[in-house]
């Protein structure tokens, strides 16, 4: 992913695709819930720190784990900017930890307009 585009997403509230999964340690999977994550920081190397706005978990993603960023102006409110990170990995929240699993398939490419 373009590191400048990542820097442009700083302080955005972003949804993740695929949605982060939650699992009780040693127990069952919980239902999927699409929650916003807050982009806390993006360093010059493209390392992104995201905090889950509901649970407080912090995920650290390299630019190679983010396929692309989409701005979602229709979700903006009260001065907060919103978007979505389409990921190359699956985040799994289990207890206080976050695990990063490879996806079995590549993320969908955005549709290209026909000429």
**Do residues 90 and 29 touch, judged by C-beta distance below 8 A?**
no
Strands 97-102 and 82-87 come out as unpaired
Q: Show me where the domains of the chain are located.
A: 3-102
Q: Which residues neighbour 65 within 8 Å (Cβ) at sequence distance 6 or greater? A: 87, 88, 89, 100
Digit-coded pLDDT (tens) for 4-35: 889 999 999 999 999 999 999 999 999 988 99
Question: What integer pLDDT is reported at residue 106 of this predicted model?
Answer: 65
Tens digit of pLDDT per residue, the chain (115 long)? 888 889 999 999 999 999 999 999 999 999 988 999 999 999 999 999 999 989 999 999 999 999 999 999 999 999 999 999 999 999 999 999 999 999 877 665 555 555 5
């Amino acid at each position: 992913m373009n590191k400048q585009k990542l820097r442009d997403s700083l302080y955005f509230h972003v949804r993740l695709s695929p949605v982060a999964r939650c699992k009780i340690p040693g127990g069952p999977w919980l239902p999927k819930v699409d929650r916003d994550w807050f982009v806390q920081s993006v360093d010059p190397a493209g390392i992104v720190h995201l905090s889950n706005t509901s649970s407080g978990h912090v995920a650290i993603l390299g630019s190679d784990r983010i396929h692309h960023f989409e701005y979602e102006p229709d979700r903006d409110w009260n001065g907060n900017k919103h978007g979505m990170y389409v990921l190359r990995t699956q985040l799994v929240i289990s207890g206080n930890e976050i695990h990063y699993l490879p996806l079995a398939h590549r993320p969908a490419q955005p549709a290209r307009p026909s000429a």
